Amino acid sequence: MYWVPNLITLGRLLMVPVVALLLSNHCYTAAFWLFLLVGMSDGLDGFIARRYNVISSAGALLDPIADKMVIMTCAFALAWDGFLPVWLAAPLIARDIVMLGIGVTDLHLKDRWLAPNVLGKAHAALAFSTLTISIAQAAQLIDIGWWLTLLFVLLFLTVCGSSAVYFLAWRRVGRESRIDSSAA
């Protein structure tokens, strides 16, 4: 059972190019259903990992990477086709690039794990929801009119807020690491 959540996460990572291909070929209905599956698999792997206490360091690394790759890919494709405003797609993509970059390159974070926070979780849920609705609207499965603009604004606010929270956490970790290294 230990490997099941990681296998689901790996599957989600492998679905990213397929979703990108579907979106780039304007196969929005198929992209919608696959993106919905991707979003549900994110919840499923986390549920299994917590429920059966099979949380792994590989999963802790792969899960956020998979989430960010899915969000960045879909945001770019939807903005390219005019279904997501650039004023939202640009900071959404930039946030995830910066977070991935800092996570990989910041030596202070190698020994410490930044726990997900409520605003970050809310941002992820809103990002997946907004992108799902945007793809559904592109596929002409729904038409929610101006409510979509409201979702765009709320998502933009969570991009800004969660980025600020993570930036402050990174500063704290960096400061604590400098204090620890000077005390040693």
SS3 content of the chain, % helix, strand, coil (to 5): 80, 0, 20
Per-residue pLDDT for 70 more than 60?
Answer: yes
Per-residue pLDDT for 13 more than 70?
Answer: yes
pTM of the full predicted structure?
Answer: 0.87
Mean pLDDT value of segment 14-23: 96
Summarised one tens digit per residue, pLDDT across range 155-175 is: 999 999 999 988 888 878 777
Residue 101: other Cβ atoms inside 10 A: 10
Per-residue confidence band for 54, with pLDDT thresholds at 50, 70 and 90: confident
Q: Contact 167/103 with Cβ under 8 angstroms? A: no
Report d(CA 44, CA 71) in Å as an integer.
17
Summarised one tens digit per residue, pLDDT across range 76-133 is: 999 999 999 999 999 999 999 998 887 777 655 655 666 677 888 899 999 999 999 9
Identify the pLDDT of residue 30: 98
Report d(CA 128, CA 10) in Å as an integer.
18
Q: Report which of residues 89 and 46 the model is more confident about.
A: 89
Identify the pLDDT of residue 177: 67
Mean pLDDT value of segment 138-158: 94
Per-residue pLDDT for 48 more than 60?
Answer: yes
Report d(CA 20, CA 142) in Å as an integer.
21
| Total residues found in the chain within this entry | 184
Mean pLDDT value of segment 46-68: 85
Q: Contact 72/96 with Cβ under 8 angstroms? A: yes
| All structural domains of the chain with their residue ranges | 4-183
In terms of Cβ atoms closer than 10 Å to its own Cβ (0-12, 13-18, 19+), residue 180 is: exposed
Identify the pLDDT of residue 27: 97
Cα torsion angle, 167, 169, 173, 176, sign? positive
Identify the pLDDT of residue 125: 92
Report d(CA 128, CA 107) in Å as an integer.
30
Mean pLDDT value of segment 18-30: 97
Per-residue confidence band for 176, with pLDDT thresholds at 50, 70 and 90: confident
Q: What CATH number labels 4-183?
A: 1.20.120.1760
Mean pLDDT value of segment 13-39: 96
